[in-house]
Structure 1
Amino acid sequence: MFNKVKLEKNSQNNNNFSYELIGVKYPYLKKPCQLIKINQVLSKVIVGQNCELSIYQFNSGKLKFISITNAHLQTINCIMFLLKSNQLISGSSDSTLAIWSTQGICSNKYQMKLKGNKFSVLCIILNFEENLLVSGNSDESLRFWSYQNTWKNFQTIVTHTGKVFNLYFNKECQQLISASEHQIQILNQCPNTKKWDIVYRIKTNYEDYSICFIDNCFISFLPKKSRFIIINHFNQRTKNIYKFSEILIQDGSKCEGNFNQQYINQKYILVVKSCNWIHLIDFSNKQEFRLHQSIKFLNSNISGSLSDDGEFLITWDSTSEELHIRQYF
């Protein structure tokens, strides 16, 4: 059964890649760093620190601090860039989504706040057209926002059994996977109504885990403190999931920080944080899912992200209290 499942081949992928530290390390304030996000054109980096956002200019792997702004009344849990409109969206424990111009954010002036959530906004995801926004919330809800001159909440689904802490689109942005305490859901968008329907729901024994779509049919799953990344195959016809493979990784006794799984389609790389390790998984050789590189830190309180093209990996950890930049070679 396994040999019938194939990943698309990227002929330009480098099977001998590695992420190496470049340039200097950037000292950071001693407040915890929750979030790091790099914009799509590699010109700006946003760092979330409690209620504040720090803005950096990013050029050829080098950072230059621009400003810091008090963006929300409570902790910022998620941020995303909108390339087409040159904007930024931030979600917070104050229950709001704020939309900023990437220029105006330096002056503490948001363009719009989306309200309607009762409690904390924990995660957000945008489609490629940047006209659909989904938020996962601590009140067990998924909220869907569409954009036509302004953002409007057009659908709310409350079927999870706990706070929703992770969202991920498949490659075509036609399916959505959502993760909450003890439950995973997969949703499809109806082409005619544009509404979203649940097509698969499964209970899990884990309260804390990370999850990610790989292409359109594979889903990676990592329970907290587990020694294995589980790769599942989602059958689009039968809407069933089966285990495809397991990848052995380093485990640990303590996990902190904010570092969601990311799959970089251009390079066929999955990045996964597990305790005080960041693992890079190579998916380029069709069915062979290979642990390619593991980066060890001195503690598990690590935040960071890959750029959308996979060229840069930026991390912060509570031991060094520095921003570290690694580049793909």
Structure 2
Amino acid sequence: MGKLILIIEYLEQNKKWIVIQNIEVDFLGQRLCFINDNLFTFQPSDGNLMYVYEMNSVSSEFMKTNILMQIKLLVSKHENYINLIRRIDNDKFQIDKDLYGQISHDGWYLITWDNISKEIQIRRCILYMKFQK
């Protein structure tokens, strides 16, 4: 069987789930993160890659996209780890191996221990994304 992400939709009238899109990927993965109904990320099991998929407004299908993210820190869970990913330029990200952290129960605060500076830092989430066309 190929490596696929299945986009599945529930049809209320039939009370059934149906596959509406198959997305072929190059790597096995176990982590999808839904940002909203039109945007999700996929992380392969091996390596430190992350792919972003956005729904195309014309075809109503998800496609791998280039997103200009106006963020400097992305928090992503992978297996038993929470990865703190820093943007190092417009299209490159790097996992920060010197930070350890915890997210508050409501998801709005990130508390980290920086192993280099030996400091505890508390960050509040402010959401802002700009899509590149």
- Which residue pairs with 1:213 in the alignment? 34
Matches within 5 A, 1:228-239: 228-235=49-56, 238-239=59-60
Partner of 2:97: 296
What residue in structure 2 maps to residue 103 of structure 1?
none
- What one-letter code is carried by the residue in structure 2 that aligns with 1:310? W
TM-superposed CA distance for 1:200, in Å, is: 0.9
CA contact (8 A) 1:219 1:233 kept: yes
Give yes or no for contact 2:11–2:17 (8 Å, CA) kept in 1.
yes
Q: Does 1:199 align with 2:3?
A: no
- Could you tell me which residue of structure 2 aligns to residue 226 of structure 1? 47
Paired residue type of 1:186: I
Shift of 1:313: 5.3
Q: For 1:296, what is the secondary structure of its paired residue? A: coil
Cα distance 1:289–1:187, how it changes in 2: closer, same or farther (>3 A)?
A: farther
TM-score (norm 2): 0.52
Q: Which runs of 4+ in 1 moved over 4 A?
A: 273-277, 288-291, 302-306
Asked which structure has the greater RCO (Cα within 8 Å, sep 6+), the reply is 1
Residue 123 of structure 2 aligns with an amino acid whose one-letter code is Y
SS in 2 for 1:238: coil
Q: How many residues align?
A: 111
Give the TM-score of the pair, scaled to structure 1: 0.26
Find the structure with the greater CA-based Rg.
Answer: 1
Deviations 1:144-198 (A, max 9, x none): xxxxxxxxxxxxxxxxx5xxxxxxxxxxxxxxxxxxx822111112243443221
Structure 1 residues without counterparts, runs of 5 or longer: 1-160, 162-180, 248-268, 283-287, 315-324
Give the % identical residues: 19
Alignment CA distance shift 1:270-1:199 (3 Å): farther
Amino acid at match of 1:210: R
- Cα deviation for residue 312 of structure 1 reads 4.3
CA contact (8 A) 2:101 2:110 kept: no
Give the 3 Å change call, closer, same or farther, for CA 213–277 of structure 1 in structure 2: closer
> What CA distance in whole angstroms lies between the structure 1 residues aligned with 2:14 and 2:59?
23
Q: Residues 233-272 of structure 1: matches in 2 within 5 Å?
A: 233-235=54-56, 238-245=59-66, 270-272=74-76
* Aligned 8 A contact 1:225 1:274 in 2: no
Find the aligned partners of 1:195 and 1:237 in 2 and give their Cα distance.
25
Q: Which runs of 5+ in 2 are unaligned?
A: 113-119, 125-133
Structure-1 separation of matches of 2:101 and 2:110? 14
